[in-house]
Structure 1
Amino acid sequence: MSSRTETLERGLAQVAEDLLAEDRLVRAVASGRRRTGTPPWRRVELRWVDLKAGRHLQVVRYDATQAHTSNHLLGDAARAEVEGLLAEPFGNWTVETTAHLLSLRVTKKGDAALHTSTRQAPVQASAEHDRAKDRMLAEDDPLFAALGLSDAQGRIKPTRRAKYRQVEDFLRILDRSVTDAIAKGHVRTPTTEDPLRVVDLGCGNGYLTFAAQRFLTERRGLPVRLTGVDVKEQSRDHNSAVAAELGIEATFVAGTIGEAVLPERPDVVLALHACDTATDDALARAVEWEAPLVLAAPCCHHDIAAQLRRGTPPAPYQAMVRDGILRERFADTLTDALRALLLRGRGYRVDVMEFVDSAHTPRNTLLRAVRTGAATTPEEYDDLVATWDLHPRLGELLGR
């Protein structure tokens, strides 16, 4: 991997060269904002597609609620579209080609911080205009049949559509997070001799565990060493059988999150729907391991909700916890806010984001933590727990 700083003009010129290379662009994403302005779209994705009228640059713009797709013919039309997008004040560009990954971040000074890494195994660029090609993992992937999500014809079962959507949305977040973390040097570039070490704490029956391994290896071409941990022996046996059936190199162990022993420090820690304080156990282990990247989707927040129910709320906030449903929702928000503050105090940059649309599952919050080493002061955390007289599990585990 190489890193350097260029003028913004030269950096964007390199991005433009990759975007307009219709034979080698796999996908590109623009996101974020600059100090000098905010782009009109939350996110933009680009790839080349073959339509009846010829090859086009497909641009998908995302606002707060939906996606807007447009197609631009190879040549002047595509070039004009690229020039227009590069003129918008996006703070980040991530570009995947058949041979390399390129990340551009606009610095506070207005320069371009460029990070480039060569793919371990070259991939093919596909320009087929097929909605299935936009999937992170195709419906007919053998993984979904092995997990019981698809039928014998490779179609996702109607009753499992929500789970498939959850898998797809998670993989999009994982894809962006791993790409960005490697490009910026927070996560090392894996090699065949030293694969990306991924551990899933509280992996259950492994839907998202296996999907992560499948996507990172098959779609991204990254070597991965996967470990799943769950307290249930049934989960270990089930997941080991699925891995053997699919020929996936993975290790599953039965035991508590707090007692899990790994041979090497993980690069990526997943904790997806670990119930209640099990999420705190997972986050504490990630901090203990100094894991560079953590993705945690909390499930249930009974601990803080029970403390709010037993305690005396500070004035004038009694109305926020008087009614059960409001107390539960407030506990959800407060718990994850406290977790984010604790992780920031341990040197992590934390994003609290939507995991999957709430229409598909109420468990739709995800904490993404990237270890940067820049720790914040803990006063805000101390003030919150003192005000509400709380004793968060993660705080106890981290000695707060």
Structure 2
Amino acid sequence: MPVSKHSSITLPAVSHVSAGFVAVLVGFASAVVIVIQAAQVTGANSTEIGSWILALGLGMGLTSIGLSLYYREPVLTAWSTPGAALLVTGLGGIGLSDATGAFLFSGLLIVLVGVSGVFERLMHHVPGSLASAMLAGILLQFGLQAFTAMHQDFSLVALMLLTYLVGKRLRPRYVIPLVLIVGLLYIAFSGQLHGHSVHLALARPVFTWPSFSLPVLISVGVPLFIVTMTSQNIPGLAVLRANGYQTPISPLLTVTGLATLILAPFGGFALNLSAITAAICLGEEAGAERNTRYLATVAGGFFYILIGLFGATIAALFAALPQAYVFALAGLALLGTIGNSLHGALNDAKDREAALVTFLVTASGLTLLGIGGAFWGLVARSGDSLRESLRG
């Protein structure tokens, strides 16, 4: 239950602010390039990409601050990084208006799940191996691009890979920001940064009228919903529970789903619970007293808003960077997720073959009836499950 409105207000300490800043920096640096790629696939221009970052920054900031203050527990929200990766692979040839319709559809499904309270029962019907295999298939090309980018700039990508390998052993929590910084320094000193168009500027919202295409809703909206729920909200809930916080899950889903519905026309494609970066705000480094660690996620919310307001500058900066850098950064940022997904998909021997089929179908980029590979990966797994049931 939320605390009384008359409860005393506690000011954040340095540990709260630093934990919130690190959580936002790690999450943002790890995935903003994938979000930008997703927007570019739809044909979005630099102003529209800035609107995406603005909408996501404001959405994550306001929901993190609001939910944390209401429940007095550390609730950090995030955009769906696996969802953004899905959009890169699934939105080819799909316009921004149809994509916006898919975002709204996914957000509506999350709201319905939150309001109805059927989250646990619904997720019970989505086998973990299925979700892991589908996610691994979606992310495969990103992992491959981290290495094929060496054809474009061997020295840059090799340096980033070496930094990743060393940083993973010494400072695993900060490895992606470290890779980002080392890559930027190399680009700057080698004269590859074409930043004449980069200047400090506030982002402005750009509204896109949604259109609804059944093939797009099925091939993008449904997988986006499933990936967001299974790869973000379930781990996010697990992180809260593992740290002893019993924040009710249904209201959190409802709020993030409603935020997606409101912000989708401006580029807020999917908001959800944070998992990995949330752990930074839930541990002892965020404060010795557990009952004040919510101030770390409040601080993180303010940093989210600040980044969102300058989304236009961030979009212009990444547009000025070499393509090899963007591909390598995205791939390295997702290596851990790819490995965990493959492990989850293939760990159970009895489901291994079915999960492998799902992985291969999803990774193949198969398109039938205008519907993309992620959906057919689900169908392949469902068909295999039905076959096993009939055998039984």
Same fold by TM-score greater than 0.5: no
Larger helix proportion of the pair: 2
Task: Give me the TM-score of the superposition, normalised by structure 2.
Answer: 0.22
Task: Give me the TM-score of the superposition, normalised by structure 1.
Answer: 0.22
Q: Highest CA radius of gyration, 1 or 2?
A: 1
